[in-house]
Amino acid sequence: MAQAHSLGKRYIKAFFKGFFVAVPVTVTFLDRVACVARVEGASMQPSLNPGGRQASDVVLLNHWSIRNYNVQRGDIVSLV
């Protein structure tokens, strides 16, 4: 019984160690490199949400291209 308690304690400790590493890495990645966003409404038709359907499209926003001013004609730019 004591061994099972020790094993459970070790797993919990490893979980929190991984959690406190994974969260800052994920937040930094989403803030600096790329993030996922939903596109809703008619503002981007016909490229996104074609045909006026009610479902939203999901896009990957690349923050790295903007940082290097690597925007070209035909790219979709999102402003907050």
* pLDDT above 70 for 2: no
pLDDT in tens, 29-62: 888 888 888 887 777 777 777 776 667 788 888 8
Q: What is the pLDDT of residue 70?
A: 78
Q: Which residues of 38-65 are buried (b: 16+ CB within 10 A; e: fewer)?
A: ebeeeeeeeebbeeeeeeeeeeebeeee
Average pLDDT over the chain, rounded to an integer: 80
State pLDDT tens for residues 30-39: 888 888 888 8
Kindly report the pTM of this predicted structure.
0.55
The pLDDT score that the predictor gives to residue 9 is 86
What's the one-letter identity of residue 75?
D
> CA of 1: how far to CAs of 7, 16, 44, in Å?
10, 23, 61
**List of residues 6+ apart from 62 with CB closer than 8 A:** 33, 34
